[in-house]
Amino acid sequence: DQQVKQNSPSLSVQEGRISILNCDYTNSMFDYFLWYKKYPAEGPTFLISISSIKDKNEDGRFTVFLNKSAKHLSLHIVPSQPGDSAVYFCAALRLNSGGSNYKLTFGKGTLLTVNP
């Protein structure tokens, strides 16, 4: 049972335009949602996160939107740059009673290609 779903395996956009990467989840108990970025032959790197009590978090060109009623989040990259070309993983975690958690659940990833 896949709890975090990224239904688009790939996305291609033009440089300077907006990239929108989507993620759906099934577990309403998730407390945090995260995006990781991965270049070939490298490990994933943390990009941005959002708490389940918020609906938007922004960091420079990157904004994550959360729609809890739809169990949907999206990552917006504006403007897109060729260096943004990578695989983007959506992930979620549920806090335990102690306020920390060690198990991230990842989606399958979306390959973003930004064309010059």
Binding letters toward other proteins, positions 52-91, x by CB under 8 A: -------------------------------------x-x
> 2 CB contacts (<8 Å, ≥6 apart)?
26, 107, 108
Residue given tokens 């958690």 in the structure block:
101
Decide if 19 contacts 13 (C-beta within 8 A).
yes
Applying CB under 8 A, does 34 fall inside the site for other proteins? yes
Exactly one of 11, 104, 111, 113 binds other proteins (CB under 8 A); that residue is: 104
Exactly one of 43, 60, 83, 116 binds other proteins (CB under 8 A); that residue is: 43
Decide if 93 contacts 30 (C-beta within 8 A).
yes
Among the candidate windows 17-25, 56-64, 65-73, 92-100, which touches other proteins by CB under 8 A? Answer: 92-100
According to DSSP, the residues that pair with 67 across neighbouring strands are 72
Distance of CA 46 to the CA centre of its chain: 10
According to DSSP, the residues that pair with 96 across neighbouring strands are none
Rule CB under 8 A: which residues touch other proteins? 4, 6, 32, 34, 36, 41-46, 49, 89, 91, 93, 95, 100-104, 106-109
